[in-house]
Structure formats: C-alpha cells, structure tokens
Amino acid sequence: MPHAKGEAMSDKICPFNQTGRILLSTDGSEYSAGAVREAINLASRCGSELLALSVVETNVEFSALAPELVEKEELRTREHLDAVAAQAGEAGVSCETIAHEGDTPWRFVVDEADQRDVGLIVMGRRGRSAMQKIVIGSVTARVIGHTSRPVLVAPRVANITGGNVVLATDGSEYSHEAAKYAIDYGKNCGVVPIVVSVAGDGSELGRAEENIRQVAEMAGQLDVEVEGVAVVGKPHEEIVRVAMDRSAELIVIGSHGRTGLERLLMGSVAERVIDNTVCAVLVIR
C-alpha cells in the first residue's frame, strides 16, 4: 500500500533496482551538500559501495605559476573527501575517496563512472565555480550529456524519503528508460508515480494521453498503479508545477526528448527542469 502522507521511507528500502555502485561527485561547496547527503542515504538503503570523487580544477600553466594555491586546494579537497568518508562511515557505508587534478572535471567523472561500472552518479546542481549562477553548472550539464549512466542531480534541499515521484514522458526512447526507474520507485516505496506528458497545444493532447497510457501499461505488468496528468503548456514549466503541487521529492526524466536524440549535451527540457525545481532530478539516458 502507498505510504501515508509524511511517512518516511524505511531505511531498509532501496528505491531503485539498478543502483549498484554509486559515484558521488562533490567539490566541497554548499551546492554539493545535498548530493553528499543523498548519495550516502541511497548507498545505505541499497547496500551500495560509495565512491566519492573530487577534482582539483587546474592546468599545467596554473600549477607552474601558483603551486602554493594548487597545494592549498589539494589539501582542502583531501580534507573534504575525508569528511565525506567519515560521514558515510557513520551511516555504515563503505566509501572510497578519489581525487584528481585537471582542467576538465566532467571528464574525470564520466571516466571513473565507466571504469568502475557504477549504477548511479550523484551530483549537485552546480559547483564552486558557478556560485552566482542560477542555471545548472557546466560540469553537471556535461556529465549528463556525455555519460551513459543515470545521474541524480540533488539540490541543497533535496530529500528523498520515499515520497511522491513525478515521471516526465514524451514517448521517446529516453522516456521509456526513465519510466522503468519511476516504476521501480513506485513499487519499492509503495507510492503511485505521477506521469506527466505535456502537449504543445490542444491538437497534441491525444499524443500526450497515449504517452501516459504506454507508461501505465508498463507499470501494470508489475502491478504498479500510476496517475496520469496530460496538460497543454511549456514542458518544463508544467513538469515543475506538477512536482511542486504534489510535493514530489523526485522527478525522473529522460536526458533527451524527441527533438534532441543526437545532441551531446542534454536536452533543453531536462536542463530547464533541473534549473527550476527544488527537488532531486534523476536523468536517464
């Protein structure tokens, strides 16, 4: 049965079936706090090994001109990773720390995820180099655009306890993959996934309803009930609105939609949803 409103997910329940090893990308900024917390919580619930990665952003020229600044940043990074490992240890989670230096932080995240065959990457919405930006940081955007792994973007106030989940679908292959995770979440946490499909105008509403029907059929095979919301409007605005109205803790979305299948960076809808919501967003490729 679904959880009563406000009832927390049991510490023993893993919301996803495909989690495996978890890679946390953190830079020690306030914007990483939510990612650190959620990565540890998920690792604890899912019995997953946690890898905590931090990158000292530098290059050969800067290292030669200001070695003392690089050393200071290396020390800060190591202290932060040690603190994350200690926090994980208190939660009973095994945590390996990884530090790199370079001028393309996103590449280290993508490569480590592939080399360690992780099931999930967890990141903040933006990092220390983008503290004044409202939009998603470039490292997070590039990781999502280049990895084949699911990425959980966790803003500072994100808190996944097994409450409501919103699935955004446009009927694309990426939405189909995202649906699997939302259905897992619903089944494991005992909640009804809210499936949102947005039509650009009234003439496309039938297609939006068909997208929802397809997800409902998938969910029904696992005895999971879903609630469908077909609306007309701008996709990112309606997805965020529904998530806010339903107090959703998580939005699950494909990295690309029907119009962006071949882009290296993520599709504009996923990017705008991440920019405008306060809850965690799970991006699936």
Quote the pLDDT of residue 10: 54
Q: Give the pLDDT band of residue 114 (cuts 50, 70, 90).
A: very high
Are 97 and 81 in contact, with CB atoms under 8 Å apart? yes
Amino acid at 95: C
Other CB atoms within 10 Å distance of the CB of residue 72: 12
As a whole number, mean pLDDT of residues 91-120 equals: 95
Q: What is the pLDDT of residue 3?
A: 46
| Inter-residue contact 193 to 167 (CB < 8 Å) | yes
What percent of the chain shows pLDDT beyond 90?
A: 73
pLDDT band at 274 (very low <50, low <70, confident <90, very high): very high
Unique residue bearing structure tokens 């409103």: 5
Domains of the chain, CATH where assigned? 22-153 (3.40.50.620), 165-284 (3.40.50.620)
Are 20 and 120 spatial neighbours (Cβ–Cβ below 8 Å)?
yes
Tokens representing 128 are 């220390």
Of 101-105, 204-208, 218-222, 281-285, the range with the lowest mean pLDDT is 101-105
Mean pLDDT along residues 195-204 = 95
Per-residue confidence at 59, pLDDT binned at 50, 70, 90? low
Query: Is the pLDDT confidence value at 21 over 80?
Result: yes
Q: CA-based angle 42:78:51, to the nearest 5?
A: 25
pLDDT at 17 over 90: no
Percent of the chain whose predicted confidence (pLDDT) is above 70: 84
189 pLDDT more than 90: yes
pLDDT at 261: 40
pLDDT in tens, 247-259: 999 999 999 755 4
Position 69 scores a pLDDT of: 79
Q: Would you say residue 232 has pLDDT above 90?
A: yes
